[in-house]
Amino acid sequence: MEIEKFSYDNKIVKYFAYATIIWGITGMLVGLTIATQLAFPEFYNDYLGFSYLSFGRLRPLHTNAVIFAFVGNGIFTGVYYSLQRLLKARMWSDKLSYLNFWGWQFIIVCAVITLPMGMTSSKEYAELEWWIDILITIIWVAFGWNMFATILKRRVKHLYVAIWFYIGTFVAVAMLHIFNSIEIPVSFTKSYSAYAGVQDALVQWWYGHNAVAFFLTTPYLGLMYYFVPKAANRPVYSYRLSIIHFWALIFMYIWAGPHHLLYSSLPDWAQSLGVVFSIMLIAPSWGGMLNGLLTLRGAWDRVRDDVTLKFMVVALTCYGMATFEGPLLSLKSVNIISHFTDWTVAHVHVGGLGWNGMLTFGMLYWLFPKLFRTELYSKKMANQHFWIATLGIILYVIPIYIAGFVQGLMWQDFNPDGTLVNGEFVKTVTVLKPYYIFRSLGGLVYLIGAILMFYNLIKTAKQGNFLKDEPASAPALAKYDNKKESWHKRLEGKPVQFMIWSIVAVAIGGLVEIVPTLIVKSNIPTIASVKPYTPLELEGRDLYIREGCNNCHSQMIRPLRFETARYGEYSKAGEFVYDYPFLWGSKRTGPDLAREGGLRSHYWHFQHMIRPKEVTPGSIMPAYPWMKEDDLNTSLTAKKIKALKRLNVPYEEGFEDKAVADLQKQANGIAKALVTDMYNKLPKELQKGYNIDAEIGKLEKKEIIAIIAYLQRLGTDIKAEPKTDSK
C-alpha cells in the first residue's frame, strides 16, 4: 500500500475561528444593548430613540448573530478542522471552502444591515428576507457538497461518530430552512409566508425547535465527540452509546416542536405528541452528556490544569441542565408559568452561554496553539476567563429565572372576589427592573471574558508561527469487501446511504407533524365571521412586523382562567386563517394583544405609540415617534393584495386595483375620529387656531394611522362584548 502525501487546510480553520470570535463579541454586545433597553428604557427613549436601535428590531439581530454568526462560524471552525483529520484528507475543494466562508460572512453582514432596517419575516430565528434565505440555501449546499466530496475521497474506512453528527446537521438544517422559508416575495424588502395561522405556527416551531436541535446541538455534539477526546487524550467513553445517542437524538428531536405551542390554538393531538417526545428526549440527551463527561474517567486530575477541559466540563454540565429543563418546560403545568415569561429566556441562555459558548471557548483555546504551533500566550488569563464566564452565566441566569417565576406567578394571582390582583399588566413589569439590571451585569461580565479571550488568542497568534497547509500522509484507502461487516460498520463505510437514512430519520417526525395540519378543513374549524384584513389593516400589520412588535407582544390567549380574565375570550384556530405570517409571539414583555381591537380609543393608541410612558406610567415600551412623521408607503399595497390572493385569501376580483382607494378612505375615517378627539381635549383658547381639516389631511397619510387600524381590528372578528379593560 502506498503512502499518499497531502496537506490539511488550516487557513480556512483560522478564518472561521476569527469570525466566530468577532461575531460572538458583536452578538453579545447587541444582547447587552437590548438587555439594558429593558433595564433602562428611559435612557434609550430620551437619548437613543432611533428606529434602528429599537428593541423589536435589535432582538432578532441578537438571536441571529449569536445563533448563525457566533455558533455558525464556530461549527464551521470545528468541522473544517476535525473533518479533514478524521478523514485523512484535505477538503475536496478550496474554492468551495472559501465560498462557504465569504458567503456566510456576507449573509451575516446582510442580516446586520437589513434587520435594524425592519426587513423581517417576523418568524423567530428565520427573520431574514427571502433573497437572504436563498443565499443561505446556496452557501449551505456549498458546505454540504464540499463535506460529502471530502468524505467520498477519504483515506479511512469508517466515519467517526462526529461526522455522523455533521451529516445529520447538514441534512436537517437544509430541510428545516427550506420548508420554513417558503414565502411569496412582494418586493425586494417584503414577502409573505406561504403558510397562515396555525399551520404557519406549527411549521415555524417545528423549525424553531429544530434549529436549536440541529444548529445549536447536533453539530456541537459532533465537536464534543472530537475535541473532548482530543483534549483529554483518550477515546470516547462508549462508542456504542454514541451510536445510540446519534440515532435516538436525530429521530426524536424533530417530533418535539409543538411543545412551543402548548395551550395554543394548535390541535390537541399535536400538542400531546410534542410533550411525549420532549420527555423521551431526556434519554438520548443525557446519554450524550454522560458519554462526554465519562470520557474524562481517570483523567479528572487533568481538568485542574487544562483550561480547555474546564470549559468543556462546564459546557457539558450546562448541556445536561438545559436538556433536563427543556422536557420539564414541555409539561403543561410547568409551561403555564414558563411560557411567555423570562423563564424561557433563562433556559435558552443556559444553553447558549453555557453549552455553546463554553464549548466554543474551550475549542478555541485548544485550537489556537495547534494552528500557530506555540503555547497559549497566557494560561492564567485563560483561567481567569473561565471563572469570569462561569460567573457571568450565573449572574445572568439566576436573576432572569427569578424574573420569570415572579412574573408568571403574578399573572395568575386572583383576589378572593375573583378579580385579578395585578389587573394592570404594567405592575408585573415594573417589579422586574432589578432583575433586568442584574441580568445586564451578568451579560457584561460574560462579554468581558470573551474580550479577554480575544486578546489572549491574538497574542498567541502573534507569538506563534502559522502553518497554512499542514503536511500529512496516510495510506490510500484500499478497496475492501464489506459484505461480512456489521450493519453499522457497513453503513459508516457508505456516506451517501448514511445520509439517506439520516434524512429518513428526521423526515418521519417532520411529516407526521406537518402533513396532517396541512389538511386545513379537518384540523382548523373555520369561523364564518373571520374576514381578510382591509388594505390599511394589512399595511398596519406589516408595520407591526417591521417594528418587531411580536418580540414583546403575543397574540395568543390561552384557555386558562387567569388569561381569559385578563384578555378576554381565548384564541381559536379559525381566527388566524388569514394571518400570513402568524404573529402569536413567544414572549410577553408587554401584554397580549389578541383582543386589543375596540378596547381603547384611537387617541389612546396615538398617544401611547408616541409617549408610552406618559400613557402607562412604568411602561418599558420604546416610543415610536417616527410613525407620526413618516408617510405610509402604499406603493406595494396592490402587489401585497395580489400576493395574498395567490395564497387563497378571498379578496374580491380586481380588489388590488381598488386597494389604495379603500386604504385612503379608511385612513381618513380614523384620522377624522382621532383629530376630533384631539381637538376636544385641547383647552378652549387653543381650539380657536386649530385647523381640523388640515390636521386630518396631514395625519391620514401617516404610518401611525395604519398601525392604529390594525390594532383596532385585532380580535374583533369574533369578539361579542369587550369583557374587561383590566390590562
Partner 1 sequence: MLRFIKQNLETISGIEIFPLISLVIFVLFFVIMLVRVFKMKKTYVSEISDYPLNDSDDEEIFQQQN
- Which residue in the set 119, 273, 367, 620 belongs to the binding site for partner 1 (CB under 8 A)? 273
Give the C-alpha separation, 217 to 220, whole Å: 5
Q: What are phi and psi of 643, to 5 degrees?
A: -60, -40
Q: Does 436 bind partner 1 (CB under 8 A)?
A: no
- Which residue in the set 49, 148, 230, 601 belongs to the binding site for partner 1 (CB under 8 A)? 230
Query: In sequence order, what are the beta bridge partners of 453?
Result: none
Residue range at the interface with partner 1 (CB under 8 A); choices 107-115, 133-141, 510-518, 700-708: 510-518
Contact criterion met (CB below 8 Å) for 140 and 170: yes
Minimal distance in Å, beta carbon 125 to partner 1?
A: 22
Q: Does 3 bind partner 1 (CB under 8 A)?
A: yes
Q: Does 240 bind partner 1 (CB under 8 A)?
A: yes
Cell numbers linked to 468:
497554512
- Which residue in the set 136, 194, 223, 318 belongs to the binding site for partner 1 (CB under 8 A)? 194
Residue range at the interface with partner 1 (CB under 8 A); choices 241-249, 402-410, 422-430, 459-467: 241-249
Q: What is the 3-state secondary structure of 433-454?
A: HHHHHHHHHHHHHHHHHHHHHH
- Which residue in the set 512, 661, 686, 694 belongs to the binding site for partner 1 (CB under 8 A)? 512
Hey, how many other C-beta atoms are within 10 angstroms of the C-beta on 256?
28
Site string for partner 1, 695-714 (x = CB under 8 A): --------------------
Q: For residues 289 and 659, which CB has a smaller minimum distance to partner 1 in the complex? A: 289
- Which residue in the set 80, 140, 206, 251 belongs to the binding site for partner 1 (CB under 8 A)? 251
Minimal distance in Å, beta carbon 234 to partner 1?
A: 8
Find the distance separating the first CA and the last CA of the chain, reported in whole Å.
Answer: 78
Give the C-alpha separation, 314 to 317, whole Å: 5
Q: Which residues are within 8 A (CB) of 163 and not within 5 positions of it... i.e. 6 or more apart?
A: 83, 86, 87, 151, 222
Residue range at the interface with partner 1 (CB under 8 A); choices 33-41, 303-311, 484-492, 545-553: 484-492
Q: Which residue has the cell 453539530?
A: 219
Cell numbers linked to 72:
455558525
Where does 197-255 show beta strands of DSSP type E? none
Minimal distance in Å, beta carbon 242 to partner 1?
A: 8
Q: For helices 72-87 and 218-232, what crossing angle results, to 10°?
A: 60
Residue range at the interface with partner 1 (CB under 8 A); choices 99-107, 244-252, 351-359, 431-439: 244-252
Q: For residues 495 and 715, which CB has a smaller minimum distance to partner 1 in the complex? A: 495
- Which residue in the set 233, 415, 465, 635 belongs to the binding site for partner 1 (CB under 8 A)? 233
Minimal distance in Å, beta carbon 381 to partner 1?
A: 27
Q: Does 182 bind partner 1 (CB under 8 A)?
A: yes
Nearest to 69 by CA among 122, 115, 106: 106
Residue range at the interface with partner 1 (CB under 8 A); choices 57-65, 122-130, 225-233, 673-681: 225-233
- Distances 374 to 17, 305, 315 between C-alpha atoms, Å: 17, 18, 25
Q: Does 403 bind partner 1 (CB under 8 A)?
A: no
Buried b (16+ CB within 10 A) or exposed e, 259-277: bbbbbbbbbeebbebbbeb
Minimal distance in Å, beta carbon 500 to partner 1?
A: 14
Q: Which residues are within 8 A (CB) of 290 and not within 5 positions of it... i.e. 6 or more apart?
A: 237, 241
Minimal distance in Å, beta carbon 330 to partner 1?
A: 18
Q: For residues 88 and 640, which CB has a smaller minimum distance to partner 1 in the complex? A: 88
Nearest to 711 by CA among 569, 541, 532, 535: 541
Give the C-alpha separation, 467 to 445, whole Å: 34
Hey, how many other C-beta atoms are within 10 angstroms of the C-beta on 476?
11
Q: Does 475 bind partner 1 (CB under 8 A)?
A: yes
Helix (H, G, I), strand (E, B) or coil at 469: strand
DSSP codes of every residue in 507-518: HHHHHHHHHHHH
Q: Does 337 bind partner 1 (CB under 8 A)?
A: no
- Which residue in the set 268, 304, 333, 515 belongs to the binding site for partner 1 (CB under 8 A)? 515
DSSP conformational letter for 475: E
Q: For residues 107 and 228, which CB has a smaller minimum distance to partner 1 in the complex? A: 228
**Can you say whether the dihedral through the CA atoms of 411, 524, 551, 708 is positive or negative?**
negative
Minimal distance in Å, beta carbon 149 to partner 1?
A: 20
Residue range at the interface with partner 1 (CB under 8 A); choices 38-46, 232-240, 683-691, 704-712: 232-240
Q: For residues 50 and 239, which CB has a smaller minimum distance to partner 1 in the complex? A: 239
**CA 66: distance to chain centroid?**
9
- Which residue in the set 521, 635, 680, 721 belongs to the binding site for partner 1 (CB under 8 A)? 521
- Distances 33 to 52, 178, 399 between C-alpha atoms, Å: 12, 31, 17
Site string for partner 1, 148-167 (x = CB under 8 A): --------x-x-x-x-----
Q: For residues 67 and 252, which CB has a smaller minimum distance to partner 1 in the complex? A: 252
Q: Which residues are within 8 A (CB) of 161 and not within 5 positions of it... i.e. 6 or more apart?
A: 222, 225, 236, 239, 242, 243, 246
Q: Does 235 bind partner 1 (CB under 8 A)?
A: yes
Applying CB under 8 A, what is the total number of residues that bind partner 1? 50
Site string for partner 1, 606-645 (x = CB under 8 A): ----------------------------------------
- By the 10 Å C-beta count (0-12 exposed, 13-18 middle, 19+ buried), 689 is classed as exposed
Minimal distance in Å, beta carbon 240 to partner 1?
A: 5
Q: Does 480 bind partner 1 (CB under 8 A)?
A: no
Residue range at the interface with partner 1 (CB under 8 A); choices 209-217, 374-382, 469-477, 629-637: 469-477
Cell numbers linked to 285:
440527551
- Which residue in the set 430, 473, 526, 633 belongs to the binding site for partner 1 (CB under 8 A)? 473
Residue range at the interface with partner 1 (CB under 8 A); choices 386-394, 422-430, 485-493, 530-538: 485-493
Q: Does 484 bind partner 1 (CB under 8 A)?
A: no
- Interface residues toward partner 1, by CB under 8 A: 1, 3, 82, 85-86, 88, 156, 158, 160, 162, 182, 194, 225-226, 229-230, 233-236, 239-240, 243-244, 247-248, 251, 269, 273, 472-475, 486-489, 492, 505, 508-509, 511-512, 515-516, 518-521, 648
